[in-house]
Amino acid sequence: MNQPKQLDSPLFALLRKDDVNAFNLQRPNNGPIDLAGGDFRGLDLRELNAADIDFTDAYFRSADLRGVDFRTTSLEGASIAHAQISGAYFPPELSADEILMSVNFGTRLRYRTR
């Protein structure tokens, strides 16, 4: 299993400092943002513009994700154990059962194949 890590990225550093507004202002307007494998434990990400961010294998234990729109975000292998997810949008490929298993038991998110 991949361990969460501190990423060497100025955008990641802004999120770790709980400066989501600065992250949203400084993020590139186009193209994916690679935050794969990052450690986002306990962060308040409620205002995050998550469009086109690669959160593959990321770790969101006890993070506040309320209202975040993850519909165009890659969450394959991410863990949202004990995260607050009320009002969050998830990619349509993720089943509700998969999301609940991750919140309740810390399992890694796996996408359904169609």
Q: What is the pLDDT of residue 61?
A: 97
Q: Would the pLDDT of 59 be above 80?
A: yes
- Confidence band of 1 (pLDDT split at 50, 70, 90): low
pLDDT tens, residue by residue, 68-81: 999 999 999 999 99
pTM score, whole prediction: 0.92
Instruction: For residues 51 and 91, give the distance between their C-alpha atoms in angstroms, rounded to a whole number.
Output: 11
What range does the domain containing 48 cover? 1-109
**42: CATH:** 2.160.20
Residue 114 lies in a domain: no
**Of 76, 30, 25, 77, the residue nearest 48 (C-alpha):** 25
Q: What is the pLDDT of residue 31?
A: 83
Q: How many domains does the chain have?
A: 1
Q: Would the pLDDT of 45 be above 60?
A: yes
Contact 11, 32 (CB under 8 A): no
Residue 35 lies in a domain: yes
**Given CA atoms 46, 16, 110, 54 in this order, what sign does their dihedral have?**
positive
Residue 45 lies in a domain: yes
